[in-house]
Structure 1
């Protein structure tokens, strides 16, 4: 036993002599503690890598109003003029319709203070002239009626005269025919008595008596023929007189009708001039109202862009800025083009307002402090000059979150996080390293793939 023990001790001694450096490789107690801490940290790191992380899009912007009528507006000068009087001061609260300032005219056409009275007098004079011309039109119409009635009477008179001439022609024609018969009989008797006288059967006295009767028959025939010709001439004169009377009256009617048309044309011109004068009067009344600039709605005067009295201003020039009361506030943030497809109406947003201290954990919004909830209301369809797209965010009424501060004012800076989908932290790190876009899913809960199906 003793020999064996001594042998082992010598061997052990020889081993330690030859391999003594192995004794320095023994793990010290501090190294083992460090190893245990590193193992715990590794385990925690692995666990943390599987914790949920909410993806988000960061953007900066400012406070504005959701509706255009609630946004600060510049009150412009509607006419060219000069500032006559200021009725407000900066920071003053004004009601709708309250006078802000008064403008005086500078154009020669509108300087006359009695311009409206002059226009009213001119309109009255034009109206009286139109009434007089209308009376003239009525007189011309009555004159036309009288001429037409007189024409009918004259035509009737000539018709009667023509009818009388026709009857006279008929009577004279019968008398002429009778005279021709008497002339033939007298001519036959005269010739017979002349033969008898030549034979000596009758005396010269009797022949002279027969010749006298013959001469009388010739005279009666000529007289009857003359009367017939005169009756025919009277008939022709009656026809010509009828036509002449008709033409004369028609000429008067045409002349009167022309005067009536001229008067009606004058009335139309006067109506146009009257309408133009009334339009000018209305324009002058409206322009006179534009000299007094009033507040379009309740608000606060925040900045006067012009100062002093007598300063010339032009039409459309901004005079002051008015901030409306109780606007429906919204946060306008500006998103990069590549992130716009990931944002849709209804998305939840966390906001940090300038002047309100906060601590924000972008991936864990539940542990954020000092931030406020919002909801995407509008995503613009057109980009800004710098290429970004504006997104309007309103207070989220669905979330049980602290309301936005009442002290917020237009133009206050804001920083927003648009919340997207929850993913493991390892996935977010892997995505960031590879430069992949955030995970895009249907906001209602379905994935893109399921939506396509």
Structure 2
């Protein structure tokens, strides 16, 4: 009451009622008060109990190695489905045929394409051998031309030597004839002088004149022979030049034919290599019509179905689950927890479908969890906004169930520091990350 008026109204006391008096005397209220006090005391004590900080994540069962995960069988070439050799659920070994496809490209429809290509290779190889023989023949011809040239030049050199010797001989003969002319002229003049003195008859003068004329005629002949020898010397030199030019022309023509044959040989060799490449490609392509299993496993699903459907290169045809694999778990953690994880850290895992009781703060009281070890941490965020962590079974812990199938759900907990319960509640209410610590498996060098 605000007591702003003069009217004084006094409320009646409730103590006059019997029911109110009996409320204070009821015994179960005392018990309830004791319970509340006891629970409050236990709660206060529980706030100081140790609590193991942890990083939780969710994921699924997978395989440890990439080649052990489900994979799709793809067609390397385009074609048309002709015959299936397996059905879904069949076990196949590596190399078993899954499906047969036929050719749809017009460049490869010839059933004798491989054999025809082989025949072309053989024909080109024979042509290559012919060009090789031609090159060998021309090389021999060039060698013969060079040998004949040397012989001709040697013959011409001999002619030059003979011409030089003949010139010397003719020049000596010419000098001798000139000497005879001089002697004959002297004798003729002496005979004329003696005839004038009456010491020689006229017949002697006539003999000397005749001899002089013979010597004069002889010197003309000898000079002609001398000039002829010089001409022969000049002709021998010209012959050398002619031989050199003639055989140079023959050698050039033979070399030209040889280089032409070599060019054809190299071109044919390139065509042979190209045809051999095509032959190998065609042979390999023929083997691609039978799409085979890449490893042992089970055919999970036939992605393409029916007969007569056409597929392109790289089209998935069926999926295979390998029969032998090492099981693992991929889990996803929040980005705020990623710096606290490291390779080799121990993790607890429990699987969907297995009876599990988990106390995340008291792992020693948990039941149905299995030990794991972090083997890989992805450095790039996934599409779900978390980071992927790969976990393998802990060799020092219980073995994981053999009945686990790939893709089954899994939950994980990575254990961190031990802290009081009140600290964990305070951290969770404020949204702080768990306390960071260095794993004991790291070396001193890594810590530095």
- If the TM-score is normalised by the length of the shorter chain, which range does it land in? 0.7 to 0.9
| 1:230 positional shift | 0.3
Report SS of the residue matched to 1:96: coil
Aligned to 1:444: 440
Q: 2:378 and 2:322 mapped to 1: Cα distance?
A: 24
Q: 1:176 and 1:452 mapped to 2: Cα distance?
A: 117
| Structure 1 position 330 matched with structure 2 position 328 | yes
| Structure 1 position 246 matched with structure 2 position 241 | no
Aligned to 1:255: 253
Q: 2:378 aligns with which of 377, 380, 390?
A: 380
| 1:418 positional shift | 2.2
Aligned to 2:89: 91
Q: 2:447 and 2:351 mapped to 1: Cα distance?
A: 39
| 1:72 positional shift | 0.7
Q: 1:349 and 1:271 mapped to 2: Cα distance?
A: 65
| 1:198 positional shift | 7.7
| 1:388 positional shift | 1.5
Superposed, which structure 2 residues align to 1:336-355 within 5 Å?
336-355=334-353
Structure 1 stretch displaced more, 253-262 or 57-66:
253-262
Q: 1:32 and 1:353 mapped to 2: Cα distance?
A: 47
**What is the number of residues matched between the two proteins?**
428
Superposed, which structure 2 residues align to 1:286-297 within 5 Å?
286-297=284-295
Q: 2:219 and 2:303 mapped to 1: Cα distance?
A: 118
Aligned to 1:119: 117
Per-residue deviation, residues 353-401 of structure 1 (Å, max 9, x unmatched): 23334332222233334433322221112221343210011222222x3
Q: 2:405 aligns with which of 409, 433, 443?
A: 409
Aligned to 1:420: 416
| 1:306 positional shift | 0.9
Report SS of the residue matched to 1:404: coil
Q: Gapped runs of 5+ residues in structure 2?
A: 1-14
TM-score (norm 1): 0.87
Structure 1 stretch displaced more, 371-380 or 190-199:
190-199
| 1:167 positional shift | 1.3
| 1:416 positional shift | 2.0
Aligned to 1:366: 364
Q: 1:270 and 1:46 mapped to 2: Cα distance?
A: 96
TM-score (norm 2): 0.88
| 1:338 positional shift | 0.9
| Structure 1 position 396 matched with structure 2 position 394 | yes
Superposed, which structure 2 residues align to 1:2-17 within 5 Å?
none
Q: 2:441 and 2:174 mapped to 1: Cα distance?
A: 129
Superposed, which structure 2 residues align to 1:293-312 within 5 Å?
293-312=291-310
Aligned to 1:220: 218
Aligned to 1:43: 41
| Structure 1 position 266 matched with structure 2 position 264 | yes
Report SS of the residue matched to 2:344: coil
Superposed, which structure 2 residues align to 1:54-203 within 5 Å?
54-191=52-189
Per-residue deviation, residues 269-289 of structure 1 (Å, max 9, x unmatched): 222111111111111111111
Report SS of the residue matched to 2:283: helix
Per-residue deviation, residues 240-261 of structure 1 (Å, max 9, x unmatched): 2122223322322232222222
Q: 1:452 and 1:279 mapped to 2: Cα distance?
A: 57
